[in-house]
Amino acid sequence: MVYHSAFTELPDSIHASCGVPLLPLRTQTRGPAPKTTDFDIVDEAIQYFRPNVLFRKYAIQSDADKLLIYLTLYISQCLKRLHQNQNQASSSSSSQQGTNNNSKKNLMTEGAKLLFALAHDHFDITTGLGGIIDGPKTFQEGETLKSYLAQCREEIGLRLVDHLYVDEGTKMNKFWMAFARKKFMNKELPEY
């Protein structure tokens, strides 16, 4: 079984842009998302990321699933970015062994910075998704979705780092990083 979003029955107060519902988020970040204090779609995306990313087939059952797919693909992108960064770091730090006690501590904060930057990097809402998200009918609609997704992306970065580092942020969690090269539904978000 693949895991589908549980946010299938939505109250009327929730708007949708380009077929994607703007679900409430448990967040302090700024953006158009309604606020909540409960389990939200970002939790769901992180929880279901590892089981879902293994499978190539995923039948969309609700509009919330579209958001779940986008967030899953974004988590993949995060892992990939951190993986690249880790490789660069290890190749440069191997030359200066022994002095990296301090830099080791910074791994988690460094990762958090990287993911924040990635969240607010330029991105497009439709390319690379194979038509899962409808094209915007008006400029305004596209902009709303974009700022909502940016908010999700930032929130994912904030919560993901708790999972990605072990030993008080000095080491990457290999049980997560191994998923960096998996391609959910054989798709990838484009890099800019």
Partner 1 sequence: MSHHHNRPAIVVDNGTGYTKLGFASNTAPSFVVPTCVSVSGGGVSSSSSSVLTTQSKKEEKDESNFPGNGNSKKKKKKKAYEYYSHHNHASKSLQDLNYSIGEDALAQINSKTIKWPISNGIVNDWTSMEKFWQKTLLNVLRVEPEEHFFLLTEPPLNPAENRERIGEIMFETFNVPGVHIGVQAVLALNASVALNASAAAASSKKNRNGDEENSGNDTSKRDRNDGLTGTVIDIGDGVTHVIPVCDGYVVSSAIKSVPLAGRDLTRFVQTLMRERGENVPAEEFSRVAQKVKEKYCYVSKDIAKEFELHERNPKEYVIRMEGVRAKTNLPWQADVGYERFLAPEVFFRPDMIAEKENGFGQFSLPELVDNAIQECPIDSRRKLYGNIVLSGGSTMFKGFGKRVKRDVKRVVDKRISESEVKSGNRLKAKSVDVEVFTHDMQRYAVWFGGSVVASMPDFYKSCHTREEYFEYGSQVMRSNVLEKEEVFF
H helical segments located in the chain: 41-53, 63-93, 101-105, 107-119, 139-164, 174-177
Place of tokens 């380009």: 18
Shortest distance in whole angstroms from residue 166 CB to partner 1: 8
Q: Which is nearer to partner 1, 15 or 159 (CB)?
A: 159
Q: Which is nearer to partner 1, 51 or 135 (CB)?
A: 51
- Separation of alpha carbons 160 and 138, rounded Å: 33
Q: What are phi and psi of 28, to 5 degrees?
A: -105, -5
Of the candidates 123, 112, 192, the residue with the CA atom closest to the CA atom of residue 156: 112
Q: Which is nearer to partner 1, 8 or 140 (CB)?
A: 8
Shortest distance in whole angstroms from residue 183 CB to partner 1: 10
Q: Which is nearer to partner 1, 15 or 182 (CB)?
A: 182
> Could you give the C-alpha distances from 30 to 6, 40, 74, 141, 185, in angstroms and in order?
25, 16, 19, 18, 31
Which DSSP state fits 28? -
Shortest distance in whole angstroms from residue 179 CB to partner 1: 8
Shortest distance in whole angstroms from residue 163 CB to partner 1: 7
Residue 144 carries which side chain, given as an amino acid letter?
T
Q: Which is nearer to partner 1, 1 or 94 (CB)?
A: 1
Summarize as ranges the residues that interact with partner 1 (CB under 8 A): 1, 3, 47-48, 50-51, 54-57, 163, 173-175, 177-178, 181
Q: What angle do CA 33, 163, 73 make, to 5 degrees?
A: 55
Shortest distance in whole angstroms from residue 17 CB to partner 1: 28
